[in-house]
């Protein structure tokens, strides 16, 4: 059974949190777009914080060399004016001459060279290293011309340069403070990008305040119009809703379906359900490194797959823009295929598989999660129906990520947004190429994905991804669950357009 969460009326919410009920226009009145999630943000650096909040802020405060037009899928100039491939591992890029960083310094080739050489150096500990590891280094060819060298051919290079490689100023990290372990604390250096908004203030775990960059060059992003954008951490969804309805917030997302539908019926705010490039998945302890050894047996993993009604969760809880997936990728990504082994909802088959594996009465285990608790609780309900009693350990993303990296989780229910990169390398290239993110370290899978990431022939790439994904799905290293569809709820005063890549473009928003 899928658990329902009651919607609390506006007045009750407001009374519970001491808020006034009435037509308040805090955001519009002081020209500040207030948005919130339940996550704490202390590190405001896209290379040293890989949460979705920093992906969003990345496009506010920084720019890439290119820009992806979501309407056409084409890549347009942003900090670059043009680019060409000298050969399949050498990219020549010419740069704009009219761009300044937020500190007033001029943007030029030195900044691009510094950025790429810093992030591509694995010793510098970039958390988003999977997004930059395709680059070997960069060299200056002129004051506004650079050469970017790749280790190997990487057909998705422009997608990553547009969506995940943000330019920082020359020497940005040079004076970073030293941590107790003797390493530099790069993430503590104040942001200094070229983007449409510049960082004003960070109160760790509370808020991040940005203000409009009045000197922004515009380009493909256009010039921002709203004066300030303030991110706030608010742990409880009911509190977020209360603040939205009473004027303390202008924009929230990840609103549960039932509550979003009731808010829509009230008509006081704008409610939209939009698809994202995020996927939900359950990963198993394939090698038995956690306290629970049951999942080493493929029959147990199969039982879990047959026990969960993914279609019901998707339809009843996630939203109309969501779909069930069978492959470890998003359907909109190049190389993603649905032609893989599939696991239908069949509780009777699940029980038989458990009995065959030596668990006729099921067993007790743990499942870890960090996002949308109600989705994981629905999974737990389905598992209980076949005899698997799963205790939920719900924690922050960072804490769960660290446990997963150590191989201490029997099952973990997590999500991945691929940095909104429309290429399967942005997910399979993170989780199935060996290392701490890989639950299986399957040599056959690793080889196929690595070859797919460096093969320039599109059809060969597709075939290699299909080979890898078929093995991942068939062996159930992951149980792919569904694509995320987010319910966005925002003030009727806000002119905001949802996008299919889970990157709200606040720099394009306006007041009505």
Could you tell me how far CA 198 lies from the centroid of its own chain? 22
52, 98, 281, 419 from 501: Cα distances, Å: 11, 29, 18, 9
Structure tokens at 349: 């088959």
Q: Is residue 434 part of a domain?
A: yes
CA distance 27 to 31: 6
> Quick one: which of 132, 161, 81 has its CA closest to 429?
132
Please say whether the dihedral angle defined by the alpha carbons of residues 27, 33, 39 and 40, taken in this order, is positive or negative.
Answer: negative
Residues 425 and 283 in one domain: yes
Strand partners, 75: 68
Kindly give, in sequence order, each residue whose CB lies less than 8 Å from that of residue 478, ignoring residues fewer than 6 positions away: 281, 282, 283, 284, 328, 431, 439, 472
Q: Is residue 13 part of a domain?
A: no
Q: If DSSP codes are grouped into helix, strand and coil, which group holds residue 24?
A: coil
Strand partners, 270: 490
Widest pairwise Cα distance in the chain:
71
Residues 325 and 467 in one domain: yes
Residues 281 and 388 in one domain: yes
CA distance 506 to 512: 14
Among residues 160, 175, 196, the one where a domain terminates is 196
pLDDT at 26: 58
Q: Is residue 234 part of a domain?
A: no
Residues 189 and 46 in one domain: yes
DSSP 131: G
pLDDT at 419: 86
Residues 191 and 320 in one domain: no
Burial-class residue 406 by CB neighbours within 10 Å (0-12, 13-18, 19+).
exposed
pTM confidence score: 0.82
User: Contact 395/409 with Cβ under 8 angstroms?
Assistant: no
Strand partners, 51: none
> Quick one: which of 407, 458, 449 has its CA closest to 428?
449
Among residues 148, 175, 196, the one where a domain terminates is 196
Residues 167 and 290 in one domain: no
Q: Is residue 23 part of a domain?
A: no
CA distance 415 to 498: 20
Name the residue with tokens 């720099």. 507
What is the CATH classification number for the domain harbouring 332? 3.10.105.10
Q: Is residue 248 part of a domain?
A: no
Q: Is residue 177 part of a domain?
A: yes
Residues 363 and 471 in one domain: yes
Annotate 367-399 with DSSP letters as a single string.
Answer: EEE-S-HHHHHHHHHHHHTTTEEEEEEE--HHH
CA distance 49 to 187: 8
CA distance 493 to 109: 41
Q: If DSSP codes are grouped into helix, strand and coil, which group holds residue 498?
A: coil
> Quick one: which of 202, 194, 205, 93 has its CA closest to 149?
93
Local mean pLDDT, 10-residue blocks, the chain (512 residues) = 43 44 63 96 94 95 96 95 97 98 98 98 94 97 98 96 97 95 93 98 96 96 97 96 96 95 96 94 95 95 98 94 96 96 98 98 97 95 98 94 95 94 94 94 97 94 98 98 96 95 95 96
Residues 300 and 157 in one domain: no
Residues 314 and 408 in one domain: yes
Q: How many CA atoms lie within 13 A of 289 on its CB side?
A: 16
Among residues 139, 173, 196, the one where a domain terminates is 196
> Quick one: which of 160, 113, 81, 67 has its CA closest to 508?
67
> Quick one: which of 320, 498, 307 has its CA closest to 384?
307
CA distance 204 to 314: 34
What is the CATH classification number for the domain harbouring 136? 3.90.76.10
> Quick one: which of 158, 150, 113 has its CA closest to 134?
150
pLDDT at 27: 80
Please say whether the dihedral angle defined by the alpha carbons of residues 411, 399, 116 and 52, taken in this order, is positive or negative.
Answer: positive
> Quick one: which of 404, 318, 321 has its CA closest to 369?
404
Residues 360 and 465 in one domain: yes
Q: Is residue 4 part of a domain?
A: no
CA distance 311 to 1: 13
Count CB atoms within 10 A of the CB of residue 337. Answer: 18
First to last CA, the chain: 42
Give the total number of structural domains in the chain: 2
Domain limits for position 126: 40-196
Count CB atoms within 10 A of the CB of residue 166. Answer: 24
Residues 316 and 463 in one domain: yes
CA distance 321 to 273: 6
CA distance 509 to 221: 11
Q: Is residue 30 part of a domain?
A: no
Annotate 39-106 with DSSP letters as a single string.
Answer: -------TTS--SHHHHHHHHHH---SEEE-TTT--EEESSEEEEEEEETTEEEEEE-SS-B-TTSPB
The helix (H) or strand (E) run that includes residue 36 is strand 32-37
Residues 286 and 186 in one domain: no
Length of the chain: 512
């Amino acid at each position: 059974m899928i658990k329902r969460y009651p919607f609390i009326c506006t007045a009750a919410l407001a009374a519970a949190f001491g808020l006034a009920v009435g037509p308040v226009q805090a955001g519009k009145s002081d020209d500040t777009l207030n948005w919130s999630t339940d996550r704490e943000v202390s590190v405001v650096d896209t290379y040293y914080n890989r949460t979705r909040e920093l992906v969003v802020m990345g496009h506010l405060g920084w720019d890439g060399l290119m820009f992806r037009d979501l309407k056409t899928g084409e890549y347009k100039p942003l900090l670059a004016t043009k680019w060409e491939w000298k050969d399949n591992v050498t990219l020549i890029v010419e740069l704009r001459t009219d761009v300044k960083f937020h500190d007033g310094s001029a943007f030029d080739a030195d900044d691009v060279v510094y950025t790429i050489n810093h992030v591509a150096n694995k010793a510098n500990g970039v958390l988003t290293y999977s997004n930059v590891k395709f680059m070997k280094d960069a060299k200056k060819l002129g004051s506004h011309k650079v050469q970017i060298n790749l280790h190997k051919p990487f057909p998705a290079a422009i997608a990553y340069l547009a969506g995940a490689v943000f330019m920082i100023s020359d020497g940005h990290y040079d004076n970073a403070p030293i941590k107790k372990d003797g390493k530099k604390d790069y993430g503590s250096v104040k942001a200094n990008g070229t983007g449409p908004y510049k960082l004003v203030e960070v109160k760790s775990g509370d808020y991040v305040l940005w203000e409009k960059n009045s000197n922004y060059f515009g380009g493909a992003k256009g010039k921002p119009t709203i004066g300030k954008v303030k991110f706030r951490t608010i742990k409880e969804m009911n509190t977020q809703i209360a603040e939205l309805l009473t004027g303390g917030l202008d924009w929230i997302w990840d609103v549960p379906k039932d509550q979003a539908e009731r808010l829509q019926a009230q008509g006081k705010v704008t409610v939209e359900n939009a698809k994202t490039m995020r996927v939900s998945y359950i990963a198993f302890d394939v090698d038995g490194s956690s306290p629970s050894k049951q999942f080493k047996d493929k029959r147990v993993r199969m039982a879990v797959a047959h026990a969960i009604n993914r279609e019901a969760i998707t339809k009843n809880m996630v939203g109309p823009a969501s779909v069930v997936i069978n492959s470890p990728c998003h359907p909109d990504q190049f190389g993603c295929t649905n032609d893989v082994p599939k696991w239908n909802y069949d509780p009777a088959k699940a029980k038989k598989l458990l009995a065959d594996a030596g668990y006729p009465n099921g067993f007790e285990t743990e499942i870890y999660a960090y996002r949308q608790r109600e989705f994981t609780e629905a999974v737990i309900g389905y598992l209980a129906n076949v005899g698997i009693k799963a205790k939920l350990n719900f924690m922050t993303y960072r804490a769960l990520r660290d446990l997963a990296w150590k191989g201490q989780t029997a099952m973990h229910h997590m999500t991945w947004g691929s940095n909104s990169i429309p290429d399967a390398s942005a997910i399979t290239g993170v989780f199935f190429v060996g290392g701490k993110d890989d639950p299986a370290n399957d040599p056959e899978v690793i080889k196929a994905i690595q070859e797919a990431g460096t093969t320039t022939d599109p059809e060969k790439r597709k075939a290699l991804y299909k080979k890898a994904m078929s093995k991942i799905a068939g062996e159930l290293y992951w149980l792919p669950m569904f694509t995320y569809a987010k319910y966005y709820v925002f003030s009727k005063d806000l002119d905001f357009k949802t996008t299919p890549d889970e990157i709200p473009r606040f720099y394009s928003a306006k007041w009505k």
